[in-house]
Structure 1
Amino acid sequence: MAKFEFSGVYCAATTPVTTDGNPDFHLFTAHCKALLEEGCDGVALLGTTGEANSFGLKQRMDILEKAIAGGVAPEKLLPGTAQTAIADTIEMTRHAVQAGVHGVVLLPPFYYKGVSAEGIYRAYARIIEGVKDDRLKVVLYHIPQVSGVAIPHEVIARLRKDYPGVVVGIKDSSGDLENMKAMIAAFPDFGVLAGADPLLLPLIQAGGAGCITASSNLVAAELRFVFDNWNVPGKEAAVKAAQDKIVAWRELTNAYVQLPTVKTMVAKRRGDNGWLRVTPPLIELSDAERADVWSRMDALEKA
């Protein structure tokens, strides 16, 4: 496998909240530590799964600071720092870099739709130049079904040319494996990370760098096993079994609305119902839905 700035298994971590809707720093820090122990190379906090855009700038910066103060190594953290306002993105990104993180994940500008490739390039360029820090490493975030804005390959090519060593990878959550393979072919040493757990195996088989996924909150150990053993002779059956388990758990996260379902599953796994809370406009699962999810988790654990 080629050497990438970011490779392996990263968790798109969910964010617990208190009864008043603020981040629950204690639960989150404990979760980060558990994820690293379970096999994650790092924690990609404050992304889609982390309900990032439901939190204010100070809350987001506090989450990062509290995790580091609580004993999570900053180089293991990969925060999402994008906002609709470029000035806010610069502020959060600069804060993250100064805190010592290895890199940040950046959405394209995501409020206006139908923007040009030139406009997307200029937004990223202004952020990079505004941060003004040689330590900055950027993982682009391609999730057009949510952001409404795709990241064209021509933009990636320009950013890599104009900011070498800064724009080092992409999280592709589109579910389009062919797009990921095309980026692998077009951009040597550019870390292409799958945003969907079932695509980890086919992606690394094609030369990809790894994954940043929601189900890592639950099956980090299995993802770690697949990443470490996918090309080890004699491990084919064990890799397939791990991959099958990953797919089954991923399918359960989609049984109802995904983000509250993930939190419901984490609540059972961590033994703390504080994880059940979500931020508006999301709502918690009903009692019947929660019971169904937990029952299905029990079945998967016994499988």
Structure 2
Amino acid sequence: MSSIEWKGIFPAITTKFTAADELDLPLFERNLQAQLAAGIDGIVLGGSLGEASTLTTAEKETLTKFTVEKVAGKIPVVLNIAEGSTKEAIKQANLAQEWGAQGLMLLPPMRYKTDEQETAIWFKTIAAATSLPIMVYNNPVDYKIEVTLDIFAQLQEFPNIQAVKESTRDVSNVTRLVNRFGDRFKILCGVDTLALEELMLGAHGWVGGLVAAFPAETVAVYRLAKAGRMKEALEIYRWFLPLLELDLHPKLVQYIKLAEAATGLGSEHVRAPRLTLTGAEREKVLHVIHTALAQRPALPDYLSL
């Protein structure tokens, strides 16, 4: 079984589309290269921000193979699995391995709200069916199913369940996980507006959203925090917060893609039923982005940390 060093910055990268609603691989690569240059540590494909629910299996295959080829072993490529049935989740996990992905981000079942036993068995069954390392995505706010500490206690026996994307919105959960399991599960913050707080509490990394448009600032916050340079990390983070709050909205895809367009790293094209922003809503989000760009901080040499 392969392993991933689940630490650092893992962008939940957006999927780029053309005006004709096809995958825009040249634009995707432009963003990917900016992420690599900024010093990211891994990448998550086809997450919520990647418009997973609208991608075909063929598109996931294209994206995964393309990304694996372009990163050329520099960082691990992780594919998100968000399915309604255990059978389909196992199929997607096996395809991910065939396509060259090095790890999986695994959500609880979609659509049906499983109880504690069903949730535990879901994760165990899929983990037993793949040798790929798994990061459990724990987001009861958006997906209505909590992966409790008691469930994690059961998941310990699976060596390929290695990490958790912590999105409960309760920063204390980082401490609860550490107190109960020590270093058994690597913890990556999944909520942009709580990232520095959770890194200070011992989280190992950050699965970011606004990193899609601001890769250098995101990596800088992480590296400065881990180097103990909290004053500098906090200064960047305070500037960053109005942007990070764009990650907490049902239209996070449109908001973050607008930010990517503003920084030259993407376009506003989204896949229906999502619609691109218009009118007052678009102006409001642009105001947040342009205000931040006008005050964008100079970064220290964080890559040498």
Identify if the C-alpha distance between structure 1 residues 270 and 75 changes in structure 2 by more than 3 Å, giving closer, same or farther: same
Q: Evaluate the alpha carbon distance shift between residue 51 and residue 288 of structure 1 in structure 2; reply closer, same or farther with a 3 A threshold.
A: same
1:178 is matched with 172
Cα distance between partner residues in 2 of 1:221 and 1:183: 29
**AA paired with 2:134?**
V
Q: Distance in 1 between matches of 2:112 and 2:234?
A: 42
CA deviation after TM superposition for structure 1 residue 26, in Å: 2.4
* Ranges in structure 1 where 5+ consecutive residues have no aligned partner: none
CA distance in 1, matches of 2:202, 2:270: 36
Aligned to 1:224: 219
Residue 204 in 1 paired to residue 193 in 2? no
Aligned length: 291
3-state secondary structure, aligned to 1:80: strand
TM-score (norm 2): 0.87
SS of the residue aligned with 2:156?
A: helix
Aligned to 2:277: 285
One-letter amino acid matched to 1:209: H
Alignment-derived partner of residue 102 in structure 2: 102
Distance 2:125 2:263 in 1: 42
Q: What displacement does 1:244 show?
A: 0.8
The equivalent residue for 1:243 is 237
Tell whether the 8 Å contact from 2:139 to 2:166 is kept in structure 1 after alignment: yes
Deviates more, 1:40-49 or 1:288-297: 288-297
Conservation of the 8 A alpha-carbon contact between 2:10 and 2:206: yes
* C-alpha separation in 2, matches of 1:301 and 1:36: 21
Instruction: Indicate the residue corresponding to 1:262 in structure 2.
Output: 256
Asked if the contact 2:165–2:207 (Cα under 8 Å) also holds between the matched residues in 1, the reply is yes
Is residue 126 from structure 1 mapped to residue 113 from structure 2 by the alignment?
no
| Contact 2:243 2:288 survives alignment (8 Å) | no
Q: Which amino acid aligns with 2:213?
A: L
Equivalents in 2 of 1:292, 1:302: separation in Å?
16
> Using the alignment, how far apart are the partners of 2:161 and 2:77 within structure 1?
17
Q: What letter is aligned with 2:117?
A: E
Query: Partners of 2:247 and 2:141 in 1: how far apart?
Result: 18
Q: Is the 8 A contact 1:110 1:148 kept in 2?
A: no
Aligned-residue RMSD, C-alpha: 2.3
Correspondence list, 1:147-158, <5 A: 147-158=143-154
Q: Summarize the Cα distance change of 1:25–1:89 in structure 2 as closer, same or farther, 3 Å threshold.
A: farther
The answer for the alignment partner of 2:138 in structure 1 is: 142
**Alpha-carbon offset, residue 151 of structure 1:** 1.0
Are 1:214 and 2:209 matched, yes or no?
yes
Whether contact under 8 Å (1:32, 1:72) holds in the other structure is: no
Structure 2 unaligned residues grouped into runs of 5+ = 296-305
Counterpart Cα distance in 1 of 2:247 and 2:38: 19
Q: Which amino acid is the alignment partner of residue 64 of structure 1?
A: T
TM-score normalised per structure 1: 0.87
> Deviation digits for residues 32-62 of structure 1, max 9, x if unmatched?
2211212321211211111111112222122
Whole-Å Cα distance in 2 between the matches of residues 121 and 129 of structure 1?
A: 12
Q: Report the counterpart of residue 300 of structure 1 in structure 2.
A: 292
Indicate if the aligned counterparts of 2:34 and 2:215 stay in contact, CA closer than 8 A: no
Identity %: 22
